[in-house]
C-alpha cells in the first residue's frame, strides 16, 4: 500500500476528514456483492459475529421498514 496509509486513515478518522482521503471510498448503492481474495472472512450482521465466507451479497429494500 501507500506509505503511512494506516496512519493517514486513522488521522482522517480522528479529525473527521475521512471522506476527503484518497484512500477511502464510500458508495451508496441498493445492493452489492464481494469476493474475498484472501480466503474466508468473518462477517458481522447487526453487530453479531457470523460465518466465515469467501463471498457474500447484500441488498436493501427501499422503504421496506415503516417508521412512525
24-46 pLDDT tens trace: 888 888 899 989 988 999 988 88
**Domain ranges across the chain:** 5-59
Residue 8, helix vs strand vs coil:
helix
Give the position of cell 421498514: 65
3-state helix, strand, coil in the chain (%, to 5): 20, 30, 50
62, pLDDT greater than 90: no
pLDDT value at residue 52: 93
User: Grid coordinates in use for 53?
Assistant: 465466507
Model confidence pTM above 0.75: no
Amino acid at each position: 500500500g501507500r506509505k503511512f496509509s494506516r496512519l493517514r486513515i486513522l488521522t482522517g478518522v480522528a479529525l473527521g476528514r475521512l471522506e476527503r482521503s484518497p484512500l477511502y471510498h464510500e458508495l451508496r448503492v441498493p445492493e452489492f456483492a464481494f469476493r474475498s481474495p484472501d480466503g474466508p472472512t468473518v462477517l458481522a450482521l447487526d453487530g453479531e459475529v457470523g460465518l466465515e465466507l469467501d463471498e457474500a451479497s447484500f441488498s436493501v429494500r427501499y422503504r421496506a421498514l415503516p417508521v412512525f
